[in-house]
């Protein structure tokens, strides 16, 4: 977390609504990486207050602003200057301080989309592009495709007049005629004219909670797609992307566009410092965004002793470049005693209280990007399950009693297995805990007869963060 003091600079986001934004995660992560004393804050601006917001930002010496809907065009009259690209598009999303003490407007939505495409190895030169939708996102997208040499850019929209308006604006701005408006219902004309094309989904269809919808459901449409991008990123894999992937197309989420528009804005704000974000740094931030979108700011492994939590958590943390913590180890270090000693001297209830205290600290301190391996009994308490749900995605590693017994039968450090018939004790304990494990779990992975790598792969696939 950035340390703030009297020298801390502020950047932020104005729009309405903005409470859902992921932009603070992007910019505050970058400031941490570069050691820059800056914080990024969203500001929800009411209708008719855009002018006051810009003036207030200048008066408060705010270093820079992002602008989101519905103010990307409305903010332009209050700027000192505007970049030619943003002027051609008629919208800005980034404001940078000028030497005259005002703001200059840029559009990093366009550059961010282009960088995301470059990152995926997509070249627009000579390609046919189909854009679904004619709203605020479609205009800069069409501008980019035409500007970067696309052979044809079709804009398909339910209301033809809106598609026509966007096409006219882009064609006029660039002096071209490659952007072609079309009614959405006429999409088969594109299929008849072109064997393959790039498809860019620029509507809100498929956005959570409407996750089972796509603008076009016809499988024949998707068979013509070579590469698909959905600018919706909640969920990470929309129905549009699933249909495209099933038809063999390459797919990527609009989350990369969000990432790179933020990176481009960050570099503009710190141009005087020569800040350039590397691909490796961008990948680190992208992983954080993916984890946040799927609700897995932390990945928490639960399960009975011997279910594989230690081995799986270690490999999972390594593959995702996340910190690894084991709750039993933290308690032992904090108490200066082993789990066995705590059970013998203070009893099981005292140990369970320690587990609850630790979970309260994890949620209260807003831990992020940890793989957390839980003690086997931690999810039994209802209060613990409530805290775990706040902390991240919970993965239940499931194994049969016989598998558990084979894995732990030689371990004399398990206080609950010090009995004449360990297998019967395992069955009894597992039966008593199964309901709690299943209640807590977001994902269940059976570890019987699987390698550690296979289990890790299944977790990553089920989380949707590969």
**Same domain, yes or no: 230 and 378:** no
**Same domain, yes or no: 68 and 115:** no
CB of 297 within 8 A of CB of 466?
A: no
What confidence score (pLDDT) does residue 414 get? Answer: 63
Last residue of a domain, one of 253, 278, 313: 253
Question: Is 263 part of a structural domain of the chain?
Answer: no
What confidence score (pLDDT) does residue 4 get? Answer: 87
What confidence score (pLDDT) does residue 416 get? Answer: 59
Active site residues: 72
Question: Is 261 part of a structural domain of the chain?
Answer: no
pLDDT 10s digits, 9-45: 999 999 999 999 999 999 999 999 999 999 999 999 9
CATH number at residue 188: 3.40.50.720
For 104, list phi and psi in degrees, rounded to 5: -110, 135
pLDDT at 1 over 60: no
What confidence score (pLDDT) does residue 415 get? Answer: 59
What confidence score (pLDDT) does residue 465 get? Answer: 82
**Same domain, yes or no: 58 and 144:** no
Which of 54-58, 141-145, 364-368 is the least confident region?
Answer: 364-368
For 229, list phi and psi in degrees, rounded to 5: -125, 130
Sequence-separated contacts (24+) of 159-162 with Cβ below 8 Å: 159/134, 162/134, 162/135
What confidence score (pLDDT) does residue 225 get? Answer: 98
Question: Is 283 part of a structural domain of the chain?
Answer: no
What is d(CA 300, CA 366) in angstroms, rounded to the nearest whole number? 14
For range 181-192, the mean pLDDT: 97
For 85, list phi and psi in degrees, rounded to 5: -65, -50
Question: What pLDDT band is residue 3 in, cutting at 50, 70 and 90?
Answer: confident
**Same domain, yes or no: 238 and 313:** no
For range 208-236, the mean pLDDT: 92
Question: What pLDDT band is residue 408 in, cutting at 50, 70 and 90?
Answer: confident
**Same domain, yes or no: 457 and 332:** yes
CB of 334 within 8 A of CB of 381?
A: no
Question: Is 348 part of a structural domain of the chain?
Answer: yes
133 is in an annotated binding site: yes
Question: What pLDDT band is residue 422 in, cutting at 50, 70 and 90?
Answer: confident
pLDDT at 395 over 80: yes
Last residue of a domain, one of 232, 253, 274: 253
Region of 106 on the Ramachandran plot (φ > 0 left; ψ -120 to 50 alpha; else beta):
beta
Task: Give the residue, 408 or 127, on which the prediction is more confident.
Answer: 127
What the block records as the tokens of 209 is 């909670």
User: 124-141 burial string, b = 16+ CB within 10 Å, else e?
Assistant: beebbbbbbbbebbbbbb
**Same domain, yes or no: 51 and 177:** no
149 is in an annotated binding site: no
**Structural domain harbouring 82:** 9-105
Cα dist from 446 to 42, 313, 404, whole Å: 42, 15, 12
What confidence score (pLDDT) does residue 154 get? Answer: 98
CATH number at residue 51: 3.40.50.10860
For 65, list phi and psi in degrees, rounded to 5: -135, 145
385 is in an annotated binding site: no
Percent over 70 (pLDDT), the chain: 97
CATH number at residue 375: 3.40.50.300
Question: Is 267 part of a structural domain of the chain?
Answer: no
- Rounded to the nearest integer, the mean pLDDT of the chain is 94
pLDDT 10s digits, 147-178: 999 999 999 999 999 999 999 999 999 999 99
**Same domain, yes or no: 306 and 412:** yes
410 is in an annotated binding site: no
Question: Is 99 part of a structural domain of the chain?
Answer: yes
Please choose, from the candidates 80, 294, 290, the residue with its C-alpha nearest in 3D space to the C-alpha of residue 208. 294
**Same domain, yes or no: 452 and 419:** yes
261 is in an annotated binding site: yes
**Same domain, yes or no: 41 and 78:** yes
**Same domain, yes or no: 71 and 115:** no
CB of 67 within 8 A of CB of 15?
A: yes
In this structure, the number of other CB atoms found within 10 A of the CB of residue 401 comes to 19
Is beta strand 103-106 parallel, antiparallel or unpaired with respect to 9-15? unpaired
Question: What pLDDT band is residue 407 in, cutting at 50, 70 and 90?
Answer: confident
pTM of the model: 0.87
Cα dist from 218 to 76, 191, 192, 243, 434, whole Å: 40, 11, 14, 9, 43
Question: What pLDDT band is residue 406 in, cutting at 50, 70 and 90?
Answer: confident
109 is in an annotated binding site: yes
**Same domain, yes or no: 398 and 447:** yes
154 is in an annotated binding site: no
CB of 261 within 8 A of CB of 112?
A: yes
Question: What pLDDT band is residue 236 in, cutting at 50, 70 and 90?
Answer: confident
Q: Which residue has the tokens 């500007």?
A: 147
**Cis peptide preceding 284, ω within 30 of 0:** no
**Cis peptide preceding 298, ω within 30 of 0:** no
Question: Is 269 part of a structural domain of the chain?
Answer: no
What is d(CA 336, CA 10) in angstroms, rounded to the nearest whole number? 43
Q: How many domains does the chain have?
A: 3
Which of 89-103, 408-422, 433-447 is the least confident region?
Answer: 408-422
pLDDT at 328 over 90: yes
201 is in an annotated binding site: no
CB of 142 within 8 A of CB of 179?
A: yes
Question: Is 274 part of a structural domain of the chain?
Answer: no
Which of 153-162, 249-258, 422-431 is the least confident region?
Answer: 422-431
What is d(CA 262, CA 106) in angstroms, rounded to the nearest whole number? 12
pLDDT at 324 over 70: yes
**Same domain, yes or no: 99 and 40:** yes
464 is in an annotated binding site: no
Is beta strand 250-253 parallel, antiparallel or unpaired with respect to 370-373? unpaired
Last residue of a domain, one of 105, 121, 149: 105
pLDDT 10s digits, 268-304: 999 999 999 999 999 999 999 999 998 899 999 999 9
Please choose, from the candidates 439, 429, 312, the residue with its C-alpha nearest in 3D space to the C-alpha of residue 379. 439
């Amino acid at each position: 977390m950035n340390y703030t003091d009297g020298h801390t600079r502020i950047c932020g986001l104005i729009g309405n609504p903005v409470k859902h934004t992921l932009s603070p995660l992007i910019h505050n992560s970058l400031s941490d990486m570069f050691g820059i004393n800056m914080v990024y804050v969203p500001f929800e601006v009411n209708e008719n207050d855009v002018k006051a917001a810009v003036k207030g930002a200048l008066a408060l010496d705010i270093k820079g602003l992002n602008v989101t809907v519905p103010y990307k065009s409305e903010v332009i009259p209050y700027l000192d200057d505007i970049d030619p690209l943003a002027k051609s598009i008629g919208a800005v999303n980034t404001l940078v301080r000028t030497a005259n003490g005002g703001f200059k407007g840029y559009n990093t939505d366009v550059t961010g989309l282009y960088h995301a495409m470059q990152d995926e190895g997509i070249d627009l030169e000579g390609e046919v592009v189909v854009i679904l939708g004619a709203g605020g996102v479609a205009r800069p997208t069409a501008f980019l495709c035409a500007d970067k040499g696309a052979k044809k850019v079709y804009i398909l929209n339910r209301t033809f007049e809106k598609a026509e308006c966007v096409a006219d604006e882009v064609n006029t701005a660039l002096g071209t005629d490659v952007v072609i408006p079309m009614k959405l219902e006429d999409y088969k004309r594109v299929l008849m004219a072109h064997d393959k094309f790039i498809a860019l989904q620029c509507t809100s269809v498929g956005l959570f909670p409407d996750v089972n919808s796509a603008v076009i459901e016809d499988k024949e449409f998707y068979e013509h797609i070579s590469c698909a991008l959905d600018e919706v990123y909640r969920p990470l894999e929309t129905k549009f992307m699933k249909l495209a992937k099933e038809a063999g197309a390459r797919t990527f989420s609009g989350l990369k566009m969000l990432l790179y528009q933020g990176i481009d804005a960050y570099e503009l704000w710190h141009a005087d410092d020569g800040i350039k974000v590397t691909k490796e740094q961008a990948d680190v931030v992208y992983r954080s965004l993916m984890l946040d979108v799927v609700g897995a700011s932390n990945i928490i492994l639960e399960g009975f002793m011997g279910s594989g939590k230690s081995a799986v958590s270690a490999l999972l943390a390594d593959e995702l470049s996340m910190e690894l913590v084991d709750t039993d180890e933290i308690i032992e270090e904090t108490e200066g005693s082993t789990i066995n000693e705590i059970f013998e001297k203070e009893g099981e209830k005292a140990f369970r209280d320690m587990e609850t205290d630790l979970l309260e600290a994890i949620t209260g301190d807003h831990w992020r990007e940890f793989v957390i391996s839980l003690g086997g009994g931690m999810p039994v308490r209802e209060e613990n399950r409530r805290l775990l749900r706040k902390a991240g995605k919970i993965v239940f590693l499931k194994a049969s009693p016989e598998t558990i017994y084979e894995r732990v039968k030689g371990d004399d450090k398990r206080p609950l297995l010090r009995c004449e018939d360990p297998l019967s004790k395992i069955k009894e304990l597992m039966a008593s805990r199964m309901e709690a494990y299943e209640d807590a779990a977001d994902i269940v992975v059976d570890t019987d007869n699987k390698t550690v790598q296979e289990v890790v792969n299944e977790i990553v696939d089920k989380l949707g963060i590969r």
